[in-house]
Amino acid sequence: MARDISSILSSKVGKVTQTAGASKRTRKLPPSKVPKLEQHLAAASNATHSWKIQPYLISCKPYGFDKSWSYSNESKLSLCCFDLDGTLINTKSGRKFAMGADDWKWFNDKVVNKLVDASLTYDFIVIFSNQGGIVANDPASKSYTNFNKKLTSILGVLNNKEVKNVLLYAAPKLPAALKKNPDYCDKSPEKNPFVRNRKPNTGMWDQLMKDLSIKEVVNTAVDFGSSIFIGDAAGRKKDFSDSDKQFAENIGIKFSTPDDFFV
Ligand SMILES: [Mg+2]
C-alpha cells in the first residue's frame, strides 16, 4: 500500500511511453496532467525528505534516514515535537484553511531560531499533524500535492538553516471511496488506523517509535522528562479543542503552547 514519491514519479513518467507491437512510440500527456507532473518534479528536485503515503498516514523522513539511523540504547532520545497548523505556521491569507501550497507563514518571527536551537538540543524534531482536509489514497490529489509542496518549502527553509533532523507524520481524512470499507467503519482506535493516527490518539507516535527502531524498549529509549510537544489545541477559551494537550498526556511528555514556546 505504501508508496514513495520516486515510485509515484516513475509511474507517472512511465505512462508517457507506451509499447505498440514491437515498436515504442511516445504519446503526449493531456495538457491537464502536465502541471501536476511538473509540480511533482519541482517538489522532488528541491526535496530534502522522502515521503511515504498510506491512505491513513503520511510520513516524511530526511533522505537516507532509514539507512543511516539505528537506535542504540546507550542513551535516551530527546524529542522536540510540534503540531503544524496554528503552531509552527499560520496561513498568510488569514483564512482558517490554506488556499494553496504557498499560503503559509511562520507562527511568529521566533520560530526559525527556536527550531535551530531545538535541532542542537534535541535528537529529533518531529511534527505531528491532523490533516482532515487531505486525501492520501491518491498521490496526485490536489490536497496531497499542495501539502507536499508546502512542506517541501518549509523543510527546505529549515534545511538551509542546518535544521536537518526533522520528521513529519500527518493523519489524512478517510477518503469517500473507503467509507464503506469494513476495515475503516469501526470507530475504535485499536481497529481503525484512520482513528488511531488522529490526535489525541497516539498512532503517529507509535509509528515514530517503529521508525526509530524502538519497540520493547519504549519506556527506556525516550527521555520523557526532557521531551516535549507544542500545540495550539490546548483547551483554552480560544481553542477549538484540547487534542494536542491530550495527545501529549496520552504519550506522557510535557506540553506547551506556541504562545509560550515561541517567545
Ligand atoms: Mg493546530
Residue ranges per structural domain of the chain: 3-13+28-261
d(CA 68, ligand 1 centre) in Å: 31
For residue 41, name the pLDDT band (cuts at 50, 70, 90).
very low
The pTM (predicted TM-score) of the whole model is 0.82
d(CA 27, ligand 1 centre) in Å: 44
d(CA 152, ligand 1 centre) in Å: 19
Question: Rounded to an integer, what distance in angstroms lies between the CA atom of residue 263 and that of residue 256?
Answer: 12
Range with lowest mean pLDDT among 40-49, 105-114, 157-166, 253-262: 40-49
Burial-class residue 17 by CB neighbours within 10 Å (0-12, 13-18, 19+).
Answer: exposed
Question: Rounded to an integer, what distance in angstroms lies between the CA atom of residue 54 and that of residue 136?
Answer: 6
Asked if the model's pLDDT at residue 8 lies above 70, the reply is no
Task: Tell me the average pLDDT across 31-44.
Answer: 47
d(CA 240, ligand 1 centre) in Å: 9
The matching CATH number, chosen from 3.55.50.30, 3.40.30.10, 3.30.43.10, 3.40.50.1000, for 3-13+28-261 is 3.40.50.1000
